[in-house]
Amino acid sequence: MPPAMRHVADIPHPEAKITLFSWNGKYLIKLEKGPLEQTYKVSEMDLTGGDAEVRTLLDEEFLQAAVRRFDHMYQDLHATFVRHDI
C-alpha cells in the first residue's frame, strides 16, 4: 500500500488557493484557481529546511508567474471549447 498523502499547510494568497502536501518523498505544491490547478513536485531531499524552505520557493515572482499561467490555461481551455462549438 502506498504511503498516505499528508496535508502540511494551507498558504494564504489573494488570487489562488495554495496547499502544501507531503507524499512519497516529495513536497507537492498545489495551486488552484477556479476549475484549474497547477501542481509542482519537489523532492524532500532537495530541501534540507523542510516545509519552511518550501515556502521560500513561493516568492512573489513565482506566484505572479503561476497566476499568469492560470490566465493562459483558461484561455487555452476556452479556445478548445470554441473550436469544438461546446
24 domain residue, yes or no: yes
33 domain residue, yes or no: yes
Is the pLDDT score of 38 beyond 80? Answer: yes
Domain region containing 57: 6-83
Q: How many domains does the chain have?
A: 1
43 domain residue, yes or no: yes
Is the pLDDT score of 1 beyond 80? Answer: no
**What long-range pairs does 27-36 form, CB within 8 A, spacing at least 24?**
27/51, 27/54, 29/54, 29/57, 29/58, 31/66, 31/70, 33/67, 33/70, 34/70, 34/74, 36/70, 36/73, 36/74, 36/77
Quick: pLDDT tens for 3-28. 799 999 999 999 999 999 999 999 99
1 domain residue, yes or no: no
56 domain residue, yes or no: yes
